[in-house]
Every structure is written in structure tokens, then in C-alpha cells.
Chain A
Amino acid sequence: MGIFTNRGFQPKRQSNHKLPPGQYETTDFPVLTAGPTPRIALTNWEFRLEGLVEEPVKWSWEEFNKLPMQDFNPDIHCVTKWSKFDTHWRGVSVDTLLEHVKLKPEAQFVTQFCYGGYTTNLPLADLRDGKAFVGLVYEGQPLAPEHGGPARLVVPHLYFWKSAKWVQGLRFTAQDEPGFWERGGYSMYGDPWKEQRYRDDDDDQASAGSIRL
């Protein structure tokens, strides 16, 4: 169907940035969540690394904020079609977190788990080498609850649902275990440049069989 065109349709939104297929640029910061926004008291907040690690670790809010922080300026691509360029965050690189655990050799994938019950999955390699961070500050302000505050994971090279809001920790697994949206038929990987929105869009559709959107 590649040759189909809509008669008279003209691009209206101009972007100075290179957009992934099907995306448009926004300067707002839209919100998309499946349920109510969890409110997490900082005194109760914790962040954990668990699963296939020799020794699980856990940080309180105070301890987490003492970890070395960096500035990040990622572009964000949401599966609901908006992209937002050059955002400003401060947070802790996942590489920094991983210095505190010894992973078992079979750890190949990660489930991000969250306050409120949300989960999302991705390969471990996609969190390493500067590719991902836990964001605490957005545009100079503490991250707002509706955007995932007090802390959310940010994995900018994948669609934004792979960046869990209200993140509580990372669980290391041997298999790629589908998370919340993934169980509902969304892509296991979510590369915006390949437009992997849904399971059918994945390179390897071997496991797509019985999943219904």
C-alpha cells in the first residue's frame, strides 16, 4: 500500500528535527497513563535492583540522591505519535547503579517495576553504556507526579512507554518477559526508528502468535 496518497494532504507541522516515521513534534509534555497517578511519600520511597544479581541492593530517597548525578538532554518519542526534542533532565545513569551489583551471567533482560503496578521489559544492553538513566529533575524542577515523579526511568532511544514512571526498581531476568503494555500486544522492543509500535511490527514475530491487541 506504499503508493497510496491522500489527495490534497499537505504537511502542516514543520519540524527542524528528524522525526521517526509517523511521529510529529510537540513542545508540550503530554501525559499518558493507564490509571490514577500514584503519590509516593519520599520517606517511603525506595529503589531496588533485584532478580538475577548476586546480592540485591536498595536505596532510600536520601541515599539515591547522594549517587553521582548527570545532566541528560534526550529526545523523547511516544508511541501515541508525539516527539519532543532536547528535553533537560538530571538523574543517575543506570551504569552508575549497575556498579553496585554483580549480575549473574544469565541476566540478559530487565523488567522495570513501579509504584502503582506498571511494568515494562527490555534487553539489559539497552540500559547500559549511557543509554538510560533514572530522572529526578525535569527542566530544573523535581519531576512532577503526572510525569512519573519522584523518579522515572528514561530510555530515550525506545518509545517512551519503555521509560517507566514511578519506577521502583529493576529486576534482571534471563528471558524477555512482557510487561504491562507488552502483554496487551505492544512491541517487545519498541524502536521508534523502525516504528515498532505493536507486536506485529517486531523484527522477530515468532512469539506474536496468540497475542491479541
Chain B
Amino acid sequence: MSRVAWQLATVKSIRSETPHVKTFVLSLPSWTLHLAGQHYDLRLTAEGGYQAERSYSIASPPEQTGEIELTVEIIADGEVSGYLNEGVQVGDQLEVRGPIGGYFVWRGEAGAPPLLLVGGGSGVVPLMAMLRHRQHLGLRTPAVLLFSVRTPEEVIYRAELETMAAADNSFTLLLDYTRQAPPGWAGYHRRIDAAMLAEVVAHFGEVKPQAFVCGPTGLVESVANGLQAAGLAPEMILTERFGPTGG
């Protein structure tokens, strides 16, 4: 029986991923096997009882037992992310419940279609759980990650993604810098558009991929439309969006 009860996790470690993104590794007293793409709810309680809740995608793969990694974008003035950034240290406790969500998930079944992952900013987090899961399974299901960021310093998980791509020729990492690219950059350097998506879909040849798209609403809207224009059926495009608010 599913029990999505609140539990007190302990912060095991904290990693800075980029200047505005941190990963919190949480040990859970009651860990449940999750699916790549699912999220946890996190709740903060102030003296006097005021509570604030947010949902955060799980970055760690299901093979990482007993703990979860939540990668959090620190939003200016963010009520919850601001506290996580400034107020939380290793050893502190945080209330969470999950895993939650049964739709934007990748199970890593053998014989599943190739994977097209499109992420904008911290929208890469649930996609990373899928890639890490795929790596643990040793699957060679072709996979492409098109990862759109504004500047080179905003590439979350850069070292791990580059190592993964170097070690596995069935995985292709496509970075897209919308504002500022590194010197000598020959890759994508514009907002994701229909032409770019058609090129990326063409990577897969005859076999149409299953697409997972996560990021800000504007990006997800245009990518979902562009993927349909590139020939993907709507049911092969799964989306997860976050608005400009969050927190």
C-alpha cells in the first residue's frame, strides 16, 4: 500500500552544481523505490506553524538506495529555495514526502524506444535521473540530451554529462547556449527552434524516439510544438513545466 507520508530526512551532503543550483543529498528513514522522473514534496515549517511546500524532481537514480538527491534552483527571493540555500546545513532535518508522479517517468524497459530528452535550465533534473538510471542498467538504448542554458556556467551536471557522453557512444550530449557560448563554440547558440528539433530528431533515423521535455513554460510549449512538426506523435511527447514563479 502506498503511503505518501511526511518523513524527516537528514541532509547528508550538499553540492554546488552552478552558482544558482545546489544538490541536497537526503537520507530517508523510510526510503521507497522511485521511478526516474518522479518528484518529492518538501515542506518547511516556521515557528508558529506557517508552512510552505514545493515539489522538487529527484535527480538520483532508483539504484541509489536509502537516499534521494534533490537538485534545487535558488530563485531570487524564493521562500523555500532561499532557505534551503542559506539556512540548511549538513546534518539538518527536512520534511519530505514521496515519491510522487506516475506520468513523466522513464522505466528503462528493454525494447523501449530511444530517448530524446530536452531540458531547459533546472528542467534537466528529472532527465538526469533517467540518464543515471539508464547508465546503471547498462542500457544502450540510443539517447540524446538537448540541454538549453543561457551561459556556460549554468550547465548543471556538466562534468558527469561529459564523462557519460565520452564513455557511451549511444548517448549524445547537445548543449545549447542561448546567450553566451564558450569561445570557439561550434554547437547550438540560439533558442531552441523547429529547425534545431528537426535536426535532433533526425539523429534517430527511422525509429521515432520517446521525448521528455522539462523546463520553463515557454520552452516546453515551443519544443512540444516543434517536436510534433518534426513528426513525433503527441503521445510520444511527455512534458513537465514550471512557471516563472516557483520559489
A and B: bona fide binding partners: yes
Chain A contributes a number of interface residues (CB within 8 A of B) equal to 48
Q: How far apart sit A11 and B104, CA to CA, in the bound complex (Å)? A: 31
- In the complex, what residue of chain A is closest to B53 when comparing beta carbons? A22
B148-156, B200-208, B220-228: which lies at the interface: B220-228
B interface SS class: mixed
Q: What B residues does A159 contact at CB under 8 A? A: none
Over the window 1-30 of chain A, the binary record of Cβ atoms lying under 8 Å from chain B Cβ atoms (1 yes, 0 no) is: 100111111111100000001111010111
Contact code string A96-138 (vs B, CB < 8 Å = 1, else 0): 0000000000000000000011000000000000000000000
- Are B2 and A211 neighbours in the complex by a CB distance under 8 Å? yes
* Total count of chain B residues near the partner, CB < 8 A: 57
- Are B239 and A80 closer than 8 Å at their CB atoms? no
B91 to chain A, nearest CB (A): 12
> When the two chains form their complex, are residues A6 and B44 in contact, meaning their CB atoms are under 8 A apart?
yes
B53 touches A81 (CB 8 A): yes
Are the CB atoms of B100 and A22 closer together than 8 Å? no
A68 is an interface residue with CB less than 8 A from chain B: no
Asked whether A31 is an interface residue with its Cβ less than 8 Å from the other chain, the reply is yes
Q: A6-B94, A80-B55 are in contact. Are A200 and B79 (CB under 8 A)?
A: no
Residues of the A chain whose Cβ atoms lie less than 8 Å from the Cβ of B79: 11-13, 24
Q: Are B8 and A12 in contact, with the CB atoms below 8 A? A: no
Q: Given the known inter-chain contacts A1-B6, A5-B47, A13-B79, please indicate yes or no for A36 contacting B244, CB distance below 8 A.
A: no
Q: Assess whether B238 is interfacial by the CB under 8 Å rule.
A: yes
- Chain A residues, CB < 8 A from B247: 13, 24
Set of chain B residues within 8 Å of A184, measured between Cβ atoms: 101-103
- Residues of A near B227 (CB, < 8 A) are 36
A210–B2 Cα distance when bound, in Å, is 7
From residue B233, how far is it (CB to closest CB) to chain A in Å? Answer: 10
B2 touches A31 (CB 8 A): no
Q: Tell me if A213 and B4 are in contact (CB < 8 A).
A: yes
**Known contacts being A1-B95, A24-B247, A185-B102, is A36 close to B224, with CB within 8 Å?**
yes
Please give me the residue from chain B that is nearest to A10 by CB atom: B46
Among B43, B217, B244, the residue within 8 A (CB) of A22 is B43
Please give, as numbers and ranges, the residues of chain B lying within 8 Å of A5 by CB-CB distance. Answer: 45-47
Does residue A32 face the partner (Cβ distance < 8 Å to B)?
yes
Residues of A bordering B, CB below 8 Å: 1, 4-13, 21-24, 26, 28-38, 80-82, 116-117, 146, 180-181, 183-185, 197-200, 208-213
Name B residues whose Cβ lies closer than 8 Å to a Cβ of A.
1-8, 38, 41, 43-47, 50-55, 77-79, 82-83, 87-88, 92-95, 98-104, 217, 220-221, 224-225, 227-228, 234-235, 237-239, 241-245, 247
Q: Which 7 A-B pairs have the closest CB atoms?
A: A30-B243, A184-B102, A36-B224, A22-B53, A12-B79, A26-B245, A31-B217
7 A-B residue pairs with Cβ-Cβ distance under 8 Å, sorted by A, are: A6-B94, A9-B44, A13-B79, A22-B53, A37-B221, A82-B245, A211-B2
